[in-house]
């Protein structure tokens, strides 16, 4: 069994994001990391591989810098790596990205796909369901863990009425939420092994995907509005004012 894990490199959640000329300034991002939900997908894929055999192929679609993230995936145990090189991911619409990833999954002959429920940069959440649709695969979202028995899989997912256990068979796609699973840390042995795992690098056209006409274009990015400054009150005389503001405006007392 081959498990394909879809990974996206995003600005690290601790990095400062700045906007310049109506666009997020990517050159000012100090650290790029694997999107956090994707980390849970990768960890779960590695655990499933360890319990049931098979191999894990890590797939990303993104610019050259994303190669580092694939090597990081190899260092924790991904068996093979596929990099679909797209220099400007922002120029593609989500349908095109889904088409590339579905073609990449097919290129790896994988019937089972793990991914994060959404990327930490766009937060769109469309990739998993979109890829599943193109694959004609069952799609389970908000997954916390997956177990397999033969060709059938059971996924735990949180729902408003409690945890749901969902059974599906391949082809299937699981989009992971943050679960209780602890992520593994790389070690020196893994890092040295990763050196030997060379990513297969393809272009979108190698996979037969047309990326010429994006149907959606982003007009501009803007930073969230700055918080209004706080109000300061000094002296005993202001107690009544503060109390009335807390009671009537903030409604906290």
Partner 1 sequence: MAYEALDFYDIDSLLSDEERMVRDMVRDWVDEKVIPNIEEACRDGVFPDEWRVDLGEMGILGAPLKGYGCPGLSYIAYGLICQELERGDSGVRSFASVQGSLAMYPIWDFGSEEQKNHYLPRMATGEWVGCFGLTEPDYGSNPGDMITRAEDKGDHYLLNGAKMWITNGTIADLAVVWAKLDGVIRGFIVEKGDPGFTAPEMTGKHSLKASVTSELVFQDCRIPKDRILPDVKGLKGPFSCLNNARFGISWGAVGAAQSCFNSAKEYALSRIQFDHPIASFQLVQNKLAWMLREITKAQLLAYHLGQKKDDGTWIPEHISLAKMNNVDIALEIARMARDIHGANGILDEYPVMRHMANLESVKTYEGTHDIHNLILGRHITGIQAFTREFTE
Cα angle vertex 237, ends 234, 238, to 5°?
55
Q: Give the count of alpha carbons within 13 A of 190, CB side only.
A: 14
Q: Give CA–CA dist 64/201, Å, rounded.
A: 10
14 binds partner 1 (CB under 8 A): yes
Residue 92 CB coordination number (10 Å)? 19
Question: What is the nearest approach in angstroms of partner 1 to the Cβ of residue 198?
Answer: 12
Q: Give CA–CA dist 141/174, Å, rounded.
A: 6
The owner of tokens 């107690």 is: 239
β-partners of residue 94 are: none
Question: What is the nearest approach in angstroms of partner 1 to the Cβ of residue 13?
Answer: 9
Position among 1, 2, 15, 26 found at the interface with partner 1 (CB under 8 A): 15
Q: Give CA–CA dist 101/177, Å, rounded.
A: 20
Question: What is the nearest approach in angstroms of partner 1 to the Cβ of residue 84?
Answer: 21
12 binds partner 1 (CB under 8 A): yes
Question: What is the nearest approach in angstroms of partner 1 to the Cβ of residue 149?
Answer: 31
Q: Is the Cβ of residue 45 or residue 74 nearer to partner 1 in the bound state?
A: 74
Position among 46, 58, 194, 209 found at the interface with partner 1 (CB under 8 A): 194
72 binds partner 1 (CB under 8 A): yes
Question: What is the nearest approach in angstroms of partner 1 to the Cβ of residue 186?
Answer: 5
Asked if 108 and 82 count as a contact pair (C-beta separation under 8 A), the reply is: yes
- Judged by CB under 8 A, the stretch of 67-75, 120-128, 164-172, 228-236 that binds partner 1 is 67-75
State the DSSP string of 170-191: SSEEEEEPP-SPPPPPP-HHHH
Question: What is the nearest approach in angstroms of partner 1 to the Cβ of residue 12?
Answer: 5
What are the CB-based long-range contacts (under 8 Å, 24+) for 73-76?
Answer: 73/5, 73/7, 73/34, 73/42, 74/190, 74/193, 74/194, 74/197, 75/186, 75/190, 75/191, 75/193, 75/194, 76/42, 76/43, 76/46, 76/184, 76/185, 76/186, 76/190
187 binds partner 1 (CB under 8 A): yes
189 binds partner 1 (CB under 8 A): yes
71 binds partner 1 (CB under 8 A): yes
Position among 23, 31, 178, 247 found at the interface with partner 1 (CB under 8 A): 31
Position among 42, 57, 70, 75 found at the interface with partner 1 (CB under 8 A): 75
Asked if 124 and 95 count as a contact pair (C-beta separation under 8 A), the reply is: no
Q: Is the Cβ of residue 185 or residue 232 nearer to partner 1 in the bound state?
A: 185
Q: Is the Cβ of residue 80 or residue 96 nearer to partner 1 in the bound state?
A: 80
Within residues 195-214, the interface with partner 1 by CB under 8 A covers: 195
Within residues 103-142, the interface with partner 1 by CB under 8 A covers: none
Binding site residues, partner 1, CB under 8 A:
12, 14-16, 30-31, 68, 71-72, 75, 185-189, 191-192, 194-195
């Amino acid at each position: 069994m081959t498990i394909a894990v879809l990974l996206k490199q995003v600005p690290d959640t601790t990095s400062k994001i700045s906007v310049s000329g109506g666009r997020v300034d990517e050159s000012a991002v100090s650290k790029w990391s694997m999107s956090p939900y994707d980390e849970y997908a990768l960890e779960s894929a590695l655990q499933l591989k360890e319990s049931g055999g098979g191999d894990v192929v890590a797939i990303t679609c993104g610019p050259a810098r994303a190669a580092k993230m694939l090597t990081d995936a190899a260092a924790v145990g991904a068996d093979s790596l596929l990099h679909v090189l797209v220099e400007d991911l922002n120029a593609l619409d989500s349908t095109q990205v889904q088409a590339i990833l579905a073609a990449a999954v097919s290129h790896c002959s994988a019937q089972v796909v793990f991914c994060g429920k959404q990327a930490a940069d766009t937060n769109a959440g469309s990739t998993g369901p979109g890829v599943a649709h193109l694959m004609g695969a069952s799609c389970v979202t908000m997954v916390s863990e997956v177990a397999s028995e033969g060709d059938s899989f059971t996924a735990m997912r949180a729902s408003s009425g409690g945890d749901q256990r969902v059974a599906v068979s391949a082809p299937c796609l699981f989009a992971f939420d943050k679960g209780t699973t602890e992520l593994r840390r790389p070690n020196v042995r893994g890092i040295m092994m990763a050196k030997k795992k060379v990513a297969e690098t393809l272009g979108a056209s190698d996979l037969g995907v047309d990326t010429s006409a994006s149907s959606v274009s982003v007009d501009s990015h803007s930073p969230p509005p700055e918080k209004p400054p706080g109000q300061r009150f000094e002296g005993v005389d202001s107690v009544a004012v503060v109390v009335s503001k807390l009671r009537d405006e903030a409604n906290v007392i």
